[in-house]
Structure 1
Amino acid sequence: MRIALQSELRRTLLLMRRYPTETAAQIILAVVSFYALALGGRFMAGGTLLGTRMTDLIIGYVLWMLVLNTVGDMGFGIAEEAENGTLEQLFLSPLGPLRLFLMRAVITLGTSLVFIICVLIGILLLTGIRLRLELVQLIPFSLALLVALALGLLVASLAIVFKRVSQALSIIQFGFVFLLMIPFDTSGPLLAFVGHFVPLVPMFSLLRQMLHHPAGFAGGGLLLFWSMVNTLVWLLVGLITFQQATNAARHHGTIGHY
């Protein structure tokens, strides 16, 4: 397991080092896209996006980038393995598909985290916004990482069964923009309850509360509880769905198909 993890990490780092301009271009594109989004919001609102509105936009954008990278890397990665004819070899590895793809997902999350930090620094420098960052904020962000891992497993399940899922991936990735922007917590008790089970929404609300109020964690115990429930639910859904998808692909003999 340790050797496989080291090999996968080395492969990822070699790809990043071999194509440094690609990584730099992605960071620049993400920062410029946010700036264009902020300018568009300023135009639509008829004024400057300052204070809590800009902070909420930054938090939502960072979480969306997390989903975008994790879901995209796992989904397109499996589709590429299937196209190259190497997916069946991965299923025959001693580690098994679940542990192998979990290991890949963890490494993907690590590289995505570095990417997101670079994007966040670029956004803060470009906009001049100052965020009050504290160690306690790592709790909801860590939970968000686990949910992103679960979403990656769900997308990997689709890719294992259907192979060509590029259009579905685009819908999933950009659909989260709207999910994170829906005001679940201020739209009535029913929608607020539904929001507790929407991926990343409780973490988004908890991070907003922590950034807007210095004592946000002390008053956010209920949000923390729902964030943990949200994480547990989606982890179980991701693991069960992935196992069912691999069993179905093996049963129908379609692992090596494309």
Structure 2
Amino acid sequence: MSYLTLVEALARKRYVILREYPVNTLTQLAVTYMFFAGIFFGGRAVAGAAITDSLPGIIVGFFVWTMAITAFAGAARSIMEDAQWGTLEQLYMSPYGFERVMAANAVVRLLESFAWGGAILAAMLATTGQSLTLDVLTVVPLVVLTVASALGIGFVFAGLALVYKRIDNIFGLLNFGLLFLIAAPTDQYPWLAVLPLSQGSTLLQRAMTDGVAIWNLPVLDLAILVATAVGYVAAGVVAFRFAERRARRDGLLGQY
């Protein structure tokens, strides 16, 4: 069996879940949009034309935030769902191996994050009447590298989900924490660029609002983005393996 078959099967599984629970799916999308709409219409009522100048940056920030939430929470929630449904141990018996299944699931969640992000972006642009530069050759690589750091954090919490099972309440807090990372002023404080999402958000702002192509971005900035993406994914995998060993040792895989 090819690895592509595994990705396809997990994508089909995710699609069925989203289709079978349409209220939950649409609510997730609506809440994100309503949050943005509240800022947009409220800001326009209070600040008037002043908010118009910052609208492109706000739109890009929400675009990144939507994808980061999907990728970050997806890894941990998939573990909790499989544990609840009693299918977690079956994944360990897969001929692919559990880690490859998790990697394939991360790919599916990344693709899902593109879908959610694209839907929210289209809604925001339609609502505000703004336009952004959407160069696929620039935006897609930057988004992948940006969201990769969120995936790394997701692996950490996937490991926690293996051990502690239910960690839903953490997500609400961390979702807003991601906003602070996305809005981090890396131009004023360069050291913030090593935080997850921060460097990628800054580069996407330049690419989508100023129309800067990826090959015109500073090499050092791109190197930092790649390093943070690889670093956080690697750290997340290490943390997940540590939690997995503990779950195996304590016999927690079959418990919920």
Q: CA deviation at 1:89?
A: 2.3
Q: CA deviation at 1:202?
A: 0.6
Letter in 2 for 1:251: R
Deviation by residue 1:163-214 (Cα, 9 ceiling, x = unmatched): 121122222222111222232321xxxx421x12110111111111223434
- Is 1:207 paired with 2:207? no
Q: Residues 196 and 226 of structure 1 are in contact (CA less than 8 Å); yes or no, is this contact kept in structure 2?
A: yes
The 1:216/1:238 distance shift into structure 2, 3 A limit, reads: same
Structure 2 CA distance for aligned equivalents of residues 178 and 64 of structure 1 = 10
SS in 1 for 2:187: helix
Q: List aligned pairs for 1:170-249, cutoff 5 A.
A: 170-186=172-188, 191-193=189-191, 195-215=192-212, 217=214, 218-249=216-247
- Which of 15, 27, 30 is matched with 1:28 structurally? 30
Identity of aligned residues (%): 27
Equivalent residue for 1:12? 14
Structure 1 residues 179 and 2: CA distance shift in structure 2, 3 A? closer
- 1:117-149 Cα distance to aligned partner (Å, 9 max, x none): 111101100111111222323221121232232
AA at the equivalent of 2:82: E
Match of 1:166 among 158, 165, 168: 168
Q: CA deviation at 1:21?
A: 4.9
Counterpart code for 1:147: S
Deviation at 1:28, TM superposition (A): 3.3
SS in 2 for 1:49: helix
- Distance, in Å, in 1 between the alignment partners of 2:4 and 2:203 is 35
Query: In the aligned structure 1, how far is the partner of 2:90 from the partner of 2:40?
Result: 45
Residue type matched to 2:52 in 1?
L
Counterparts of 1:241 and 1:44 in 2: how far apart (Å)? 45
- Give structure 1 stretches of 5+ with no counterpart: none
Amino acid at match of 2:207: M
Moved more, 115-124 or 245-254: 245-254
SS of the aligned residue for 1:140 comes to helix
1:156 aligns to what?
158
Q: What TM-score do the two structures reach when normalised by structure 2?
A: 0.88
Residue 72 of structure 1: aligned partner = 73
- Range that drifts further, 35-44 or 89-98: 35-44
Q: Aligned pair 1:140/2:148, yes or no?
A: no
Equivalent residue number for residue 56 of structure 1: 57
CA distance in 2 between counterparts of 1:247 and 1:43 reads 54
| 8 Å contact kept, 1:160–1:255 | yes
**Relative to structure 2, which stretch is displaced further, 123-132 or 134-143?**
134-143
Q: Would you say how many aligned residue pairs link Structure 1 and Structure 2?
A: 252
Give the TM-score of the pair, scaled to structure 1. 0.87
Instruction: Indicate how the Cα distance of structure 1 residues 121 and 45 shifts in structure 2: closer, same or farther if over 3 A, else same.
Output: same
Whole-angstrom distance in 1 between the partners of 2:17 and 2:179: 29
Q: Distance in 2 between matches of 1:93 and 1:215?
A: 44
Question: Is the 1:98–1:242 contact (alpha carbons within 8 Å) kept by the matching residues of 2?
Answer: no
Distance of 2:173 and 2:160 partners within structure 1:
13
Q: CA deviation at 1:44?
A: 6.2
Letter in 2 for 1:117: G
